[in-house]
Structure 1
Amino acid sequence: MRKIAKLMPILLLFAVIIAGCSSGKNFKAETAYDIQEFSATNQKGDQVKLDSLKGKPWIAMFIFTTCTTVCPPMTANMADIQKTLHEKKINDYNIVGFTVDPTIDTEKKLAAYLKNYNVVDDSKWQFLTGYSQAFIEKFAVDSFKTLVKKTDGNDQVMHGTSFSLVDQKGVVVKSYSGVSNVPKDEIVTDLESIIEDGK
């Protein structure tokens, strides 16, 4: 009996460790950047605001349609991520792309750009425009801690290439590489976890 009594604390500790390991779905935030209020128009001509996105997590990125370098692979990578989400029957999310060249990127241009990628469900995609260049440059820094900069005489816009995971309350909770060595499985797992945690 004494041996069993001595072993009890060890057994209880082991049980706690096992229980902790089995609850591995809980998402752990790495950042806490509040998204600033915004009003934009998507590729379908619908108005999109921060409040209209709340309630579902979303993956954000910054792109523009005449980009000749990083935007095509970023969008292709995001389309691949959505394929996996679709295969796993994960539906409660949005993909939000902010154009960093709003003067050039009209709703029609964004819609045409998206069609190049044969996405499995375009209803989840919100490619946004309808704001000023000054707004998106400040918004990117304030909300995502990333650079957006358009210079005179250059048709290419400097911008960050990360994918950002935004939770149901409109807070950036994690960022990932969006161009090379993209952790696609990690992004899918994190999104699935954050959806489960919100139920």
Structure 2
Amino acid sequence: MACEGEKTYNAFNSCSICKMDLKVIEQTSKVIVNNAISDESIFNLTTTWNTEEDEAIQLEDLKGKTLVLVMIYTTCKAACPRLVADMRNIEKQIPENQLKDLQFVLVSIDPETDTPERLKSFAIENHMDRLHWTFLQGTESSVREFANVLAVKYKQISPMDFSHSNIISVFNSGGELMHQQEGLGVDNKETVKTIIELTNKN
């Protein structure tokens, strides 16, 4: 019950100030859902990407799931097959019931060659065509921007060959970087632990 602005009373009576009978004021609770994206989130990048299904998406469309992300190119004969193997090895260590809260994302650093059709074929060839695998083709500028955010360095050294960093990145459901694994065939215990902890929070 209230009178005189912010003054409240806890019992039926007359107001000691204005002598008016007090009435119960309905109280309503308001739930505010905060969908804000933090300044550190990759979802602040608003460029459009093409998936292996030739669907146009933005990174924010992946919001809500733990993301395990790597940058590769499909014609690579050296490092990338090993990165793919590392991603598959991580997948095998995640409980099946947690895969629904997880998205493995492979971003091509060679968007000219890696068309959606090529990415789809690559996914099938490598048994990475389940729903929790996504392949992305961007523009040269969007790929470069994204690589800078991840501290991934790459350089084209011939028409079909790139030198590049070998980094697997883990993001929480809000798109914030939580962990990075660098190298090929390295111990991925901490990466798997981070992924399982994050998917348990989703």
Aligned to 1:75, the other structure's residue is in SS state helix
Task: Give the 4+ runs in structure 1 shifted more than 6 A.
Answer: none
Q: Deviations over 1:143-184 (max 9, x none)?
A: 212213225x4321222211000111111111013522141x
Instruction: Please state how far the C-alpha of 1:186 moved relative to its aligned partner.
Output: 2.6
Contact 2:66-2:195 at 8 Å conserved across structures: yes
Contact 1:61-1:163 at 8 Å conserved across structures: yes
d(CA) in 2 for partners of 1:112, 1:191: 27
d(CA) in 2 for partners of 1:125, 1:132: 20
Contact 2:50-2:136 at 8 Å conserved across structures: yes
Of 186, 189, 192, which aligns to 1:181?
186
Q: Which amino acid aligns with 2:124?
A: K
d(CA) in 2 for partners of 1:174, 1:74: 16
d(CA) in 2 for partners of 1:97, 1:44: 13
Q: Deviations over 1:12-36 (max 9, x none)?
A: xxxxxxxxxxxxxxxxxxxx95323
Q: Is 2:146 the counterpart of 1:139?
A: yes
Q: Is 2:91 the counterpart of 1:82?
A: yes
Which consecutive unaligned segments of at least 5 residues does structure 2 have? 1-38
* Greater strand proportion: 2
Instruction: Please state how far the C-alpha of 1:88 moved relative to its aligned partner.
Output: 4.6
**How large is the RMSD of aligned CA atoms in angstroms?**
2.0
Which structure has the higher relative contact order (CA within 8 Å, separation 6+)?
1
d(CA) in 1 for partners of 2:40, 2:102: 19
Of 176, 190, 194, which aligns to 2:194?
190
* Greater helix proportion: 1
d(CA) in 1 for partners of 2:163, 2:172: 26
Contact 1:77-1:182 at 8 Å conserved across structures: no
d(CA) in 1 for partners of 2:61, 2:185: 31
Aligned to 2:113, the other structure's residue is in SS state coil
Residue 101 of structure 1 is matched in structure 2 by 110
Contact 1:59-1:95 at 8 Å conserved across structures: yes
| Equivalent pairs, count | 161
Instruction: Please state how far the C-alpha of 1:118 moved relative to its aligned partner.
Output: 2.4
Of 133, 152, 160, which aligns to 1:155?
160
Q: Is 2:129 the counterpart of 1:127?
A: no
Instruction: Please state how far the C-alpha of 1:75 moved relative to its aligned partner.
Output: 0.6
Contact 1:37-1:50 at 8 Å conserved across structures: yes
Larger radius of gyration: 2
d(CA) in 1 for partners of 2:72, 2:89: 16
* Amino-acid identity (%): 22
TM-score by length of 1: 0.73
